[in-house]
Amino acid sequence: MDAAPDTAHRVAYIINGVIRVATVEPWVTLLDLLREEFDLTGAKKGCDHGQCGACMVLLNGHRINSCLVLAVGRNGSVVTTIEGIGAPDGLHPLT
């Protein structure tokens, strides 16, 4: 995401146990950050209104629709995506 230097914000998250840092515009959603900046495509852009749940991730242990959350508003949070749940040899009940 190309961000203009005067409006861009630096954000840092712990995503699936890994610290990740990016610079984003204030209107970028958490979903777009995950998919476009970090190539974590398990959360999908479905309705883009928080109705379908395709974009669901865990944010600080709570289920949220990432299409409704601005990335700058949850800076410093812990995010778990479907990619971070379980492993091929020990699947989590959600997968």
Contacts of 13 (CB under 8 A, 6+ apart): 19, 20, 74, 75, 76, 77, 78, 79
The model's pTM is 0.86
Chain-wide mean pLDDT for the chain? 90
Q: Specify the pLDDT at position 86.
A: 72
- pLDDT one-digit tens code per residue, 52-68: 999 999 999 999 999 99
Which token pair is 67? 């299409």
- Cα separation, 63 vs 24, whole angstroms: 23
- Nearest to 81, CA basis, from 70, 48, 64: 64
Average pLDDT, stretch 12-32? 97
